[in-house]
Amino acid sequence: MNHKKKTIALALVAAVLGWSGAAVAEDAPPKGNAQTGKALFEKDGCYQCHGYIGQGAGATGPKLAPEPLPYDAFIRQLRTPAQEMPPYEVAIVSDQQAADIYAYLTSIKKGPDPKSIPLLNN
Amino acid sequence: MSRRERAGGPANAVGRGDQKARGRRTAQARENGALQESFINYGGNSKPEWLTCLHEEASVGMCHGYAKASGKPMAAMVHGTVGLQHASMALYNAWCDRVPILLFSGNAGPVEERRPGVEWAHSVQDNAAIVRDFTKWDDYPWSLQHFAESTVRAYVLATTPPMAPVVITADGALQESPLSDREAEELTIPKLARNRVPAGDPNAVREAAKLLIAAENPVIVADRYARTPEAMGLLVQLAELVQAPVVDTKGRMNFPTKHSLCQSERRGALLSQADVILALEPVDSFGLRNRVTDQLGRSWRTTTKANVKFISIGVHDLLVHANFQDFQRYSDAEIPIVGDPVTTMPMLIEYCHKELNDDRKTALGARRKKLDDAYKGLIVRARAEAALSWEASPIGTARMWMELYNQIKNEDWALVSETSSSGNWPHRLWDMNKPQHFHGGSGGSGVGYTCVSSIGAALAHRDQGRIAVSVNGDGDLNMSPGVLWTAAHHKIPLLMLVHNNRCYHQEIMHLQRMANRHNRGVENARIGTEIRNPNIDYAKIAQGYGVYSAGPISNPKDLGPAIQKAIQVVKRGEPALIDVVTQPR
């Protein structure tokens, strides 16, 4: 397949996945397992750009947790990401695995209030 | 007595006529024959002082850091051929970073002068050829008079902007042979005359001033701008006069971080709304106006307004070579000014003053109010983001940087490492307002720069009685850990925190993108990028080199006390290392 055909094919895949993401948004987030999601978060390399607890890291990746994006926006970014994030297609991260990762992100507790940290206020 | 001893030595020649610029230290790597023997015996190891390095890349990298911290070049001496090849990566970094270094490399020339064995194997016809693409000048002197003149010329060329490394090949016979009486009588070492640095064309600068004063949304971008102690103050004057935000791309310590016009974190928003952009010694003008997205299909788009006026002031175009491409994609400018931006700055400020009337002052004052509010927002955001991983283990990079700052903020300190690989937290939350508070990056992105350059810079700061601190990537430290021994041996005080994320992180992110580009998953991206199994114990490595150490530390609560202890070691005049197991970035 030449480069142009490849690009068209990938665009079609993205379009289909985008539609799937939109369909999911009509329902409640699928049930996921936070413990499994945590393992997947590390295995699939999410932590490399977003940190082990999804805190984000400047130029490499934005904050994912606490208070993650709504599930439909999360799945859209996962499948057809904006900016530099690589797309994670179903073949790489299944819908159930995506739900598990989302459950992990949802389970992450809020950090301390920055006003309560002396080193950030001196 | 050798030729060199009678002449008084090339290091003295380098500094003659300029006591402050005297090349009094030489980072030495392995054997250097007669010059080395003369320095340590005839010169008494004081002019210059000999620093023993365990790798040529370390010796040149130390020169790189020293030059940026002290404002004057240090010399390195390396073995011919093999030593120069080892030194080449560090030379390339210094070339890209526009930093002066004097490099002396030996060679055995005439066949009857060569000893059997390695001198035949290592002799070359054109010693400097392998580094000529990324050095400013080189010479192979054939007499001591020639050597004296070329060494002074090399110093002048290296320290004239655009600054860069230079190479002198020191012939073996010239180093070893006796000096005739006549040669001794006639030998003169030229006085060092420092070149005046060129400012930009006055007409173009006046035009730039008009644009800046008339602009509704001007933005100043500073990259490798601040090459002198006065540079930051001049930029503050200009920014306050124009009431323009400054985006510091961190090539040098360009602008005080607690000044409300320091708005580097708003780079994208500011540049996209700008009607005039002034770029000072820009490294990537194209990147200021365009964004490349590295996804399944690689694409780029312009991110600035179509009618933005771009002004650049810099000397980069005065020193560009063909093969090693030290530039980015071509980008035009409405007013491209070739000249040193620091030298040009007083003229630009004067012309801006002339353009400014009372009405315009009122308008600019209103703009400043909005910028002040935006700055407050940046601080709130930075604190909130820092808090997110405050209790995390592995330790968050914000916590690491702030624990470090807490121990040094009331001292006379210098930060001698980059910040961009660990969240830019110092630039976001520390009060950085002096030239020694930051020295910029490697230039060529050659891994292994930080550990060696930081010790060279720490040497310069030791002389000023400052505490030097660095945060060093684990991958970087593995390139040249032997430099820790040099720090211990020569009692160079530096507190080094190892930002130990146990991988070559830049590479793993790229590999993830490539794996997904081919739709193969990212599980295997860690192969060839992670540094695990076994995990490296950097504290033990440091101990082996005779350096005080602590760690590995994974619990954030343990970090502050460990830094406090290590600072006491540094205050005693010794290096210290703390292995901090961290979040990736």
Each domain of chain B, given as residue ranges in start order, spans 3-186, 202-379, 389-581
What is the CATH T-level fold of the domain A3-110, as seen in this structure? Cytochrome Bc1 Complex; Chain D, domain 2 (1.10.760)
Q: Is the dihedral of CA A28, A32, A37, A38 positive or negative?
A: positive
Whole-number pLDDT of residue B401: 98
Backbone angles phi and psi of B536, in degrees to 5 = -80, 135
pLDDT at B27: 59
Contact, B542 vs B548, CB < 8 A? Answer: yes
pLDDT at B293: 80
Q: Do A57 and B297 touch (CB under 8 A)?
A: no
State which residues of chain B have pLDDT below 50: 1-24, 28-31
- Is A113 in contact with B516 (Cβ distance < 8 A)? no
Return the H-helix or E-strand segment holding B472: strand B467-473
In chain A, where the domains are located = 3-110
Q: What's residue B38's pLDDT?
A: 84
- Among A105, A116, A119, most B C-beta atoms within 10 A, so best to mutate, is A119
User: Which residue from A minimizes the CA distance to B381?
Assistant: A114
Contact B508 A86 (CB under 8 A): no
Instruction: Give the ipTM.
Output: 0.85
pLDDT of residue B33: 64
Q: Which of B497, B210, B157, B230 is nearest to B352 (CA)?
A: B210
| B293 Cβ under 8 Å from any chain A Cβ | yes
CATH superfamily for domain B202-379: TPP-binding domain (3.40.50.1220)
Distances (CA, A) of B399 to A46, B74, B391: 21, 35, 8
* Superfamily of structural domain B389-581: Thiamin diphosphate (ThDP)-binding fold, Pyr/PP domains (3.40.50.970)
CB B337 within 8 A of CB B209: no
Structure tokens, B317: 């175009």
DSSP letters along B310-361, please? EEEEESGGGS--SSS----S----SEEEES-HHHHHHHHHHHHHHH--HHHH
Going B90 to B94 to B95 to B101, the CA torsion angle's sign is negative
Cα separation, B215 vs B270, in Å, equals: 13
Residue A27 confidence (pLDDT): 59
Interval B218-242: pLDDT, tens = 999 999 999 999 999 999 999 999 9
Cβ partners under 8 Å of residue A51, min gap 6: A57, A61, B389, B392, B396, B583, B584, B585
What pLDDT score does B30 carry? 35
For testing the chain B interface, which of A8, A44, A47, A48 should be mutated: the one with the most B CBs within 10 Å? A48
Nearest to A120 among B387, B516, B523 (CB): B387
Cβ of B418 under 8 Å from any chain A Cβ? no
Phi, psi at B144, each rounded to 5°: -65, -35
Q: B406–A119: do the CB atoms touch at under 8 Å?
A: yes
Contacts with B433 (C-beta within 8 Å, 6 or more apart), sequence order: B232, B256, B257, B258, B259
DSSP A6-70: HHHHHHHHHHHHHHHHHHHHTSPPPP--HHHHHHHHHHTTHHHHH-TTS--BTTTB----SSPPP
Residue for token digits 């990298």?
A: B61
B427 near A CB under 8 A: no
* B209-236 CB burial, b ≥16 within 10 A, e <16: bebbbebebbbbbbbbbbbbeebbebbb
* CB contact B527 to A (< 8 Å): no
Structure tokens at B442: 């490697």
Q: 């780079």: which residue's tokens?
A: B267
Question: Could you write out the DSSP letters of every residue in B492-554?
Answer: ---EEEEEE-SB-HHHHHHHHHHHHHTT--SGGGGTTTB--SSPP-HHHHHHHTT-EEEEEE-
Which two three-digit tokens encode residue B530? 């992670």
Cβ atoms of B432 and B424 within 8 Å: the answer is no
CA distance B237 to B224: 18
| Yes or no, beta carbons of B583 and A81 under 8 Å apart | no
Q: Which of B387, B508, B512 sits opposite A114 (nearest CB)?
A: B387
Please report the number of interchain residue pairs, chain A to chain B, with beta-carbon separation below 8 angstroms. 115
Interface of A with B (CB under 8 A): 7, 10, 43-45, 47-49, 51-53, 55-60, 63, 81, 83-89, 91-92, 111-115, 117, 119-122
pTM of the model: 0.91
- The tokens of A111 are what? 């950090």
Assign A92 to helix, strand or coil.
Answer: coil
Backbone angles phi, psi at B24, to 5 degrees: -95, -5
Cis ω before B561 (30° cut-off from 0): no
Per the CB < 8 A criterion, the answer to whether B263 and B270 are in contact is yes
What is the structure's pLDDT at B9? Answer: 32
Residue A86 has what DSSP assignment? Answer: P
Integer CA distances (angstroms), B161 to A4, B16, B234, B341, in order: 46, 21, 18, 10
Strand partners, B496: B470, B577
Intrachain domains B202-379 and B389-581 with the same fold: yes
CA dist., res. B272 & res. B483, Å (int): 44
Chain A residues within 8 A of B384 when measuring between CB atoms:
114
> Residue A45 in contact with residue B527, Cβ under 8 Å?
no
Q: Is B359 exposed, middle or buried (0-12, 13-18, 19+ CB in 10 A)?
A: exposed
Domain over B3-186 is classified CATH 3.40.50.2300: no
- pLDDT (tens digit, 0 to 9) for every residue of chain A, 122 residues total? 344 443 333 333 333 333 333 344 445 778 999 999 999 999 998 999 999 999 999 778 999 999 999 999 999 999 988 878 888 889 889 999 999 999 999 999 998 999 999 999 97
Instruction: Report chain A residues whose CB lies below 8 A from the CB of B429.
Output: 120
Enumerate residues 6+ apart whose C-beta is below 8 A from B67. Answer: B73, B74, B94, B99, B100, B101, B456
- Contact list in B for residue A40 (CB cut-off 8 A) is none
- Measured CA to CA in angstroms, residue B361 lies from B350, B352, B353 at distances of 15, 11, 10
| 3-state SS assignment for residue B390 | coil
**What DSSP designation does B252 have?**
S
Contact A88 B384 (CB under 8 A): no
B393, B522, B527: best mutation site toward chain A, by most A Cβ within 10 Å? B522
DSSP string, B29-85: ES--HHHHHIIIIISTTTTTEEEEESSHHHHHHHHHHHHHHHSS--EEEE-TTHHHH
User: Which of B525, B521, B523, B580 is CA-nearest to residue B556?
Assistant: B580
Question: Residue A87's pLDDT is what?
Answer: 84
